[in-house]
Structure 1
Amino acid sequence: MRHREQTDATIQQRADSVRRLSSAPVSGEDHALHGLDFASQDCLGLSTHPQIVAAAADTLRRFGVRSVCAGAEAGDTGLAVTLERRIADFLQMEEALLCPTGRAAAQAVIRGLVRPADHVVIDAAIRGGLREDAEAGTNNLQPFRHLDAEHCRERLRAIRARDAENGILVVTESLSPLDSGTPDLAALRALCDEYGATLLVDVSQDLGCLGEDGRGHLGLQDMLGRADLVIGTFSKSFASNGGFVAARTRAVTACLRVGEAAQALSPIQLAVILKAFTVIDAAEGCQRRARLMRNVLNLRTALRERGLSVCGEPCTSVCVEIGFGERARRFAGHLSDFGLLVDLGTLEETGRLRLHVTAGQSDAEIMRAASCVAAALDRARAEVSPPARRPRLRAAA
């Protein structure tokens, strides 16, 4: 008992020592600690939506709290089947399969469909789960230049010149998290038809939050129902963890169900995602996406007005050119001094900072974030700028 009391006391001491970021400056403090959050990915602000919170509470009362387990062990509440149908209809696909995470969705596709003799032609900018799973599934991995459909054609032509039998999976993202770029999906579809390949599109970054109807670049490019496979995650726009695979043919999802004993989502997660779909597909969802895009455009403009280089298409993640090495490290430290929370996950690799914009951020917060980024970069540049050259002394004649 004494040990438990000591442990609790230690935890409390640690909690008390954590410096919490306030939502506004504390009067009398010289330190510019504003607590600006541009790291969260709840881009539509649905995690606190009253209808979604009420749906979660009602489901909790009906079904209780359940640990995550295999789908067959979870019992069928009907919510999982309803959600899979909702996803398939939203994307104009034949059927969908739920997965515990977006990473699990990628694993289900690669492990379930790609054989060692098959080929994967993948956008070179794709990192993380999709790339790693493809490398584990086959040695026949061919990257093509980021967003370059013509280079993808060269890869496909070379593969088919020596292998007319085995399958080819072409993998791209509807929106790249590294530079906010988007591929020509119709061109990739035409290439897949020409060379007998299967098109897989990862919509994790834009589904629900971009486009007037929330269908992301699949909708904006009139590609709904035209990709062979679509994978994604719910964590960015749908207020819950979880992932999915959607397919144009029911045979594909049937194959994946047999080969992949995926964990089930809890009833609370299922209810939250279903309610999020209702909001996203309604007029309110359109209004939230409009506010989100307004904030995105305002932030991009404010950053450019301060002399910063902004990359890619307007989307929920605003990418800013910062640079590499010591400048990037010092810049990250100064952002912390300003109390600005951002996504630094790819800064060292790409030299770019990512700011995640939400529909709920105010105009003042947008302007303050741009000012913080500009000030932090100015400080970093001044600290790592090369020393002024001394004039060379000429020897006396």
Structure 2
Amino acid sequence: MRHREQTDATTQDRAEGVRRLPGAPAPGDAHALRGLDFASQDCLGLSTHPEIVATAADTLRRFGVRSVCAAAEAGDPGLAVALERRIADFLQMEEALLCPTGRAAVHAVIRGLVRPADHVVIDAAIRGSLRESAEDATDNLRAFRHLDPEDCRVRLRAIRARDGENGILVVTESLSSLDSGTPDLVALRALCDEYSATLLVDVAQDLGCLGEDGRGHLGLQDMLGKADLVTGSFSKSFASNGGFVAARTRAVTACLRAGEAAAQALSPIQLAVILKAFAILDAAEGRERRTRLMRNVLNLRTALRDRALIVCGEPCTCVSVEIGSGERARRVVHHLAEFGLLADLAALDETGRLRLHVTAGHSDAEIARAAACVAEALDRARADATGAARRPRLRAAA
């Protein structure tokens, strides 16, 4: 089940795990908090966890400092084998393959499996690296409307009407990095079965940090082991860079290992840190951290809506707020910098969205302060635009 939000003022105080935040200080208050970081993506705070730090130090003493190198030269090969098995079991897939980054994983699987004559059908709002890899692999690229399985069906039907032989790869994200929306993965699976297509789901945004067991929307939608291919990265929840490809059949990873995917490996320190992160995330502490994270997410979404702001998508670590596009968005970002709030901006054709990356370590005061800053920045940006419109235009002298 997905996380439900309580937005009614009479029930908010009673919502399990969510409580009304204290009043936020005005952005101009000299005693207000400064330098609020809502741009970092260490969402569970594991990068400074004592056990993670101790594991990194112990591995450093055992293997020394190693640069990214060929897999056979990466130190103890048992670490890599153990991590690949851990990922495959976590996602209920047959086998997994490690890659140096999440981008490299996406590139390896799409470029390694898609032939020029094959087709790729991709969510229109998918992040850049997935689209770029598809564009590199084939000219037969079709986009379907964001999170719209029926539009995906239209694309698949049109392809199969004229090409019944070549492969089709359907690509989506379990959680959109753009607007925090999530697709109907069950519907996409059914479409792939109907039109003999392969389903690739990228889980870079929610693996480890969402769901009671940390398996993200694959777990929440009962889709573990049901996508054909899963790609992801470790940077958001596992305190390390790195990426992976998981597949339902061993033949896929064997094919990728024979290509460029196996040319580089993670360092022993990265491998050990990610394995330790898995152990923490699977324990009671991991569940407690995810609970605290979701409480912060829900509190921030409620605080923003209490200020009449439009909050997008599903409750997740990235809280997206509509702020308008063009000059207004630039002014909002300028005023946020004045307040000391770090966030990032996603530009769209029709609007701009401010993305606030929430962590388990944010305090109630920081959540309240962030909402107040965003609201005040948007108010000032609107006032700036109104003032500019009222200024008289100067006429050139004859």
Same fold, TM-score > 0.5, yes or no:
yes
**1:155 correspondence with 2:149:** no
Matched position secondary structure for 2:77: coil
- The separation in 2 between residues aligned to 1:385 and 1:145, in whole angstroms, is 34
Counterpart of 1:130, as a letter, is: L
- The separation in 2 between residues aligned to 1:358 and 1:307, in whole angstroms, is 23
Aligned residue number for residue 251 of structure 2:
251
CA RMSD in angstroms, aligned pairs only: 1.8
Aligned residue number for residue 129 of structure 1:
129
Native 8 Å contact 1:32 1:339 kept in 2: no
- The separation in 2 between residues aligned to 1:292 and 1:75, in whole angstroms, is 35
Aligned residue number for residue 118 of structure 2:
118
Per the TM alignment, residue 348 of structure 1 is displaced from its structure 2 partner at its CA by 7.9
Matched position secondary structure for 2:257: helix
Superposed structure 1 runs of 4+ greater than 6 Å apart: none
1:83-119: CA deviation from partner (whole Å, max 9, x where unpaired)? 0000000000000000000000011011110000000
Counterpart of 2:219, as a letter, is: G
**1:222 correspondence with 2:207:** no
Counterpart of 1:363, as a letter, is: D
The 10-residue stretch of structure 1 (45-54 or 255-264) with the greater mean CA deviation from structure 2: 255-264
Matches within 5 A, 1:277-288: 277-288=278-289
Aligned residue number for residue 369 of structure 1:
370
Q: Give the 3 Å change call, closer, same or farther, for CA 122–267 of structure 1 in structure 2.
A: same
Aligned residue number for residue 276 of structure 1:
277
Structure 2 segments unaligned to the other structure (5+ residues): 1-24, 393-398
Aligned residue number for residue 300 of structure 2:
299
Greater gyration radius: 1
- The separation in 1 between residues aligned to 2:61 and 2:305, in whole angstroms, is 50
Q: Give the 3 Å change call, closer, same or farther, for CA 389–264 of structure 1 in structure 2.
A: closer
Aligned residue number for residue 94 of structure 1:
94
Native 8 Å contact 2:74 2:268 kept in 1: no
- The separation in 2 between residues aligned to 1:245 and 1:69, in whole angstroms, is 19
Aligned residue number for residue 10 of structure 2:
none
- The separation in 1 between residues aligned to 2:391 and 2:109, in whole angstroms, is 58
Native 8 Å contact 1:178 1:350 kept in 2: no
- The separation in 2 between residues aligned to 1:236 and 1:347, in whole angstroms, is 23
Q: Give the 3 Å change call, closer, same or farther, for CA 347–33 of structure 1 in structure 2.
A: farther
- The separation in 2 between residues aligned to 1:125 and 1:298, in whole angstroms, is 27
Q: Give the 3 Å change call, closer, same or farther, for CA 146–36 of structure 1 in structure 2.
A: same
Aligned residue number for residue 241 of structure 1:
241
Aligned residue number for residue 316 of structure 1:
317
Aligned residue number for residue 343 of structure 2:
342
Per the TM alignment, residue 30 of structure 1 is displaced from its structure 2 partner at its CA by 5.2
Aligned residue number for residue 53 of structure 1:
53
Native 8 Å contact 2:346 2:353 kept in 1: no
Q: Tell me the matched-pair count.
A: 363
Matched position secondary structure for 2:166: coil
Q: Which gives a bigger RCO, structure 1 or 2 (Cα 8 Å, sep 6+)? A: 2
- The separation in 2 between residues aligned to 1:218 and 1:231, in whole angstroms, is 12
Aligned residue number for residue 212 of structure 2:
212
Structure 1 segments unaligned to the other structure (5+ residues): 1-24, 391-397
Counterpart of 1:249, as a letter, is: T
TM-score by length of 1: 0.89
Aligned residue number for residue 358 of structure 2:
357
Percent of aligned pairs sharing the same letter = 83
1:142-165: CA deviation from partner (whole Å, max 9, x where unpaired)? 100000001111111111110000
